[in-house]
C-alpha cells in the first residue's frame, strides 16, 4: 500500500465526462496507480451537456477496462469536483494533459480547486503515442462508422455501447 507518513490511504479523484474513456485516460490511470492507493474515476454529470454515450455506457466502458483492478472505483457526480473529492475522502485530483493548451486550462482549474479546498492536483503528461487522442476525436471517428479499437483501452468495443 502506498501510504503517506500519516498512514492514511491516498485516494485520487480522476474527474471527466469520459465520453468515451479513451486509451489516453486508461494510461493516465494505470500510471497513477503507482503512487496512490485508490482512484475514483468520477464521471461529471451535466444535464446541459449533450453526450454521445449514455452515463451507463460510459461507466460500463471504465468497469470493463479495470475489471481486474480492485483499486479503481467508478462513480458519477453532479457537483463541484472539489466537493465530490472531499465527499469520497480524496486528497488528490488527477488530471492528464496532452498539450500546452491543456496545461494552461488545467493550471487555472487546479489553482481554483486548491484555493477552494486545499486539495492538490497532480498532472500527468499523456504518453506521446496517445497525445492526439481525445474523446472528441473518438466520437468523430465513430460518427463516420470507423473502427476506434486502437483509441480505446485494451479489449473495449464501443460499437455496441448505448448512445444517446
**Residue 1 lies inside a defined structural domain of this protein:** no
Q: What is the pTM of this model?
A: 0.92
**Residue 153 lies inside a defined structural domain of this protein:** no
Mean pLDDT for the stretch of residues 109-125: 96
Mean pLDDT for the stretch of residues 30-52: 94
Element spanning 12, H or E: strand 11-16
The CATH number that applies at residue 77 is 3.40.50.620
Contact call for residues 120 and 10 (beta carbons, < 8 A): no
Over residues 48-72, the pLDDT tens digits come to 788 999 999 999 999 999 999 999 9
**Residue 159 lies inside a defined structural domain of this protein:** no
Per-residue cell: 79:
457537483
DSSP letters for 39-64 = EEEEEE--TTS--SB-HHHHHHHHHH
- Could you give the CA distance from residue 37 to residue 52 in angstroms, rounded to a whole number? 31
**Residue 152 lies inside a defined structural domain of this protein:** no
Share of the chain above pLDDT 90, in %: 83
- Could you give the CA distance from residue 41 to residue 129 in angstroms, rounded to a whole number? 23
Query: Is residue 2 scored above 60 in pLDDT?
Result: no
Give me the catalytic one of 27, 38, 59, 135.
135
Number of independent structural domains in the chain: 1
Mean pLDDT for the stretch of residues 96-110: 93
Annotated catalytic residue 135: yes
Give me the catalytic one of 30, 98, 114, 139.
98
Domain range for residue 87?
11-147
Query: Is residue 161 scored above 80 in pLDDT?
Result: no
- Could you give the CA distance from residue 56 to residue 163 in angstroms, rounded to a whole number? 10
Mean pLDDT for the stretch of residues 6-35: 95
**Residue 92 lies inside a defined structural domain of this protein:** yes
Least Cα distance to 39 among 68, 11, 62 occurs for 11
**Residue 164 lies inside a defined structural domain of this protein:** no
- Could you give the CA distance from residue 2 to residue 10 in angstroms, rounded to a whole number? 7
Share of the chain above pLDDT 70, in %: 95
Confidence of residue 121 (pLDDT cuts 50, 70, 90): very high
Annotated catalytic residue 49: yes
User: Which pLDDT does position 77 carry in this prediction?
Assistant: 97
Amino acid at each position: 500500500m502506498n501510504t503517506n507518513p500519516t498512514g492514511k490511504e491516498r485516494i485520487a479523484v480522476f474527474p471527466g465526462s469520459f465520453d468515451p474513456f479513451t486509451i489516453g485516460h486508461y494510461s493516465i490511470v494505470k500510471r497513477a496507480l503507482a503512487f496512490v492507493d485508490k482512484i475514483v474515476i468520477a464521471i461529471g454529470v451535466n444535464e446541459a451537456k449533450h453526450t454521445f454515450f449514455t452515463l451507463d455506457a460510459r461507466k460500463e466502458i471504465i468497469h470493463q477496462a479495470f475489471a481486474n483492478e480492485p483499486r479503481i472505483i467508478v462513480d458519477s457526480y453532479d457537483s463541484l469536483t472539489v466537493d465530490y473529492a472531499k465527499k469520497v475522502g480524496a486528497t488528490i485530483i488527477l488530471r492528464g494533459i496532452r498539450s500546452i493548451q491543456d496545461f494552461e486550462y488545467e493550471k487555472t482549474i487546479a489553482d481554483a480547486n486548491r484555493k477552494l479546498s486545499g486539495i492538490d492536483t497532480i498532472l500527468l503528461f499523456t504518453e506521446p503515442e496517445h497525445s492526439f487522442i481525445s474523446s472528441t476525436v473518438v466520437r468523430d471517428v465513430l460518427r463516420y462508422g470507423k473502427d476506434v479499437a486502437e483509441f480505446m483501452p485494451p479489449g473495449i468495443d464501443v460499437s455496441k455501447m448505448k448512445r444517446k
